């Protein structure tokens, strides 16, 4: 079990983001949907590196669960965007929680999880080893990419991967 300790570089936004993430978890739980944290929040949780910025929460769920989550979001008039890259973005002001397709984004990464404790909420998170594998694979994909943004994204992924290798 990992307990979220301290704050990243962008503390004020992070506090609001975690509150919003808990709202999203409260939507998912009654539906039997268990998001798996797999992005910068996981990197921060493992490293407690206060120089990291956590600007959104990246998670993975089964893509078949998207319609049920969307139904509740619409009932509660919560803004969302369904992206063509297999991601359901849940939005509030400048905050974003991404529910990515487990089958698409983690298809190359065995789904081994542990519990992350966030202010009384338990959420699944990729194990440290699987998170490293996930970032390594994402970096390799960006290196092969031809889009000009691939180099920028590679740099961001590498920064987080380097933090993970120090844990």
Q: Give the pLDDT of residue 162.
A: 95
Rounded CA gap, 141 and 119, in Å? 35
Give the count of beta carbons closer than 10 Å to the beta carbon of residue 131: 24
Q: Give the pLDDT of residue 107.
A: 81
What is the pTM for the complete model shown? 0.93
Q: Give the pLDDT of residue 101.
A: 95
Q: Give the pLDDT of residue 124.
A: 97
Q: Give backbone dihedrals phi and psi of 7, rounded to 5 degrees, phi first.
A: -135, 150
Percent of residues in the chain assigned helix, strand, coil, to nearest 5: 50, 25, 30
Place of tokens 């978890």: 25
Rounded CA gap, 103 and 46, in Å? 24
Residues of the chain where predicted confidence (pLDDT) is lower than 50? none
* Domains of the chain from N-terminus onward: 2-127 (3.30.460.40)
Across the beta sheet with 36-37, what order do the strands follow? Answer: 2-3, 113-118, 121-126, 36-37, 57-61, 95-101, 87-92, 79-83
Q: Give the pLDDT of residue 167.
A: 93
């Amino acid at each position: 079990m990992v307990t979220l300790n301290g704050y990243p570089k962008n503390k004020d936004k992070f506090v609001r983001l975690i509150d919003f993430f808990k709202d999203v978890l409260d939507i998912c739980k009654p539906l039997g949907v268990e998001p798996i944290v797999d992005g910068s929040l996981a990197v921060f949780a493992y490293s407690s590196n206060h120089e990291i910025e956590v600007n959104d929460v990246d998670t993975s769920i089964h893509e078949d669960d998207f319609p049920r989550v969307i139904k509740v979001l619409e009932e509660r008039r919560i803004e969302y965007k369904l992206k063509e890259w297999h991601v359901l973005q849940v939005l509030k002001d400048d905050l974003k929680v991404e529910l990515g397709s487990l089958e698409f984004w983690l298809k190359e990464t065995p789904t081994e999880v542990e519990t992350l404790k966030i202010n009384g909420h338990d959420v699944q998170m990729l194990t440290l080893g699987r998170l490293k594998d996930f970032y390594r694979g994402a970096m390799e994909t960006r290196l092969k990419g031809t889009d000009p943004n691939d180099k920028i994204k590679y740099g961001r992924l590498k920064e987080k991967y380097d933090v993970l290798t120090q844990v």
